Amino acid sequence: MVVQRVIAAVVVLLSLMRAQPAHAHPMGMSSINRALDFTYAGDGRFRVVYALDFAEGPAYAEIEALDADHDGKVTPEEQRRYLDSRLPPLVDAWVVLVDGTRVPPTVVASHVDTKPGEGGLDTLRIDAEVALAASPRRSTPGQPLTLYVKDDAFRDSPGWREIGAELAPDAGASSDPLLAGTIETTTGDGGAMVLEGRTPRMIDARFTFRPGSHDESLPTGRVPPWGGLFALLVLLWGGLFAWLFRKRAAAQS
């Protein structure tokens, strides 16, 4: 599925951004890399994980702003001031539409970290959790929900750009039919997904959540207890027959 490839690409990006040894940044020393991962939690609500990674070149200016007094040490207060001033303008610039209605994002948690890079320079990474106001529209059986996202920050800089969406794994008991359905992904503005070599440049994307059907007797995504018992019985019976067969063959020989 397309969404599985998108999520896999997000995982690869996050892995690359975590692996920051003291040598050149894996995406290039001048790159700015971004991943947006939207999770549909039911009842028109989305959770967002935002990862922003600056390689050595662009990180230099970011670290100058982070270390406000330029003493070479970053205090928790400096981190908080930096994040409170840096993140809101970036997030406020997102275009997020749920069924055509713009939904404002809000930063609810954030963290910044630096790692040694090449040439005595550092890289910088920001991780944030962003909440979307609940959509006024509630899903109904048979009616899909569409999420459109656009983030063109740092558009002129090289680097990885990825946008993904998934269903909340812990929301299987919800009565929302969309959580039992599927997700389809398309580029939003007719070709906003550009590949530079093997690097995705996803500036915007549209996700269509199509409803499925719930088994009212069981939460979606959970295995019924008798299903596991049946499998165990089949396994035991198979083992018993195999043992009897080997015993008979040995007796005949």
217 part of a folded domain: no
Query: Looking at the domain assignment, is residue 215 inside a domain?
Result: no
195 assigned to some structural domain: yes
Whether 216 maps to a domain, the answer reads no
Dump the DSSP string for the chain: -HHHHHHHHHHHHHHHHH---SS--TT-TT-EEEEEEEEEEETTEEEEEEEEEE-HHHHHHHHHHHSTT-SS---HHHHHHHHHHHHHHHHHT-EEEETTEE--EEEEEEEEEEEE-STT-EEEEEEEEEEEPPPS----TT--EEEEEE--TTTTS-S-EEEEEEE-TT-TT-S-GGGGSEEEEEESSSS-EEEETTEEEE-EEEEEEE-----TTS-TT---HHHHHHHHHHHHHHHHHHHHHHHHHHHH-
**Residue 159 and residue 234 share a domain:** no
Q: Tens digit of pLDDT per residue, the chain (253 long)?
A: 444 444 444 444 445 445 444 566 888 889 999 999 999 988 888 999 999 999 999 999 999 999 988 888 889 999 999 999 999 999 999 999 999 999 999 999 999 999 999 888 999 999 999 999 877 655 566 789 999 999 999 988 999 899 999 998 866 566 788 888 888 888 655 444 454 556 678 899 999 998 875 443 323 333 333 334 334 343 444 444 444 445 555 555 5
Count of structural domains, the chain: 2
Give the domain extent around 238: 223-253
Specify whether 129 is located in the same domain as 172.
yes
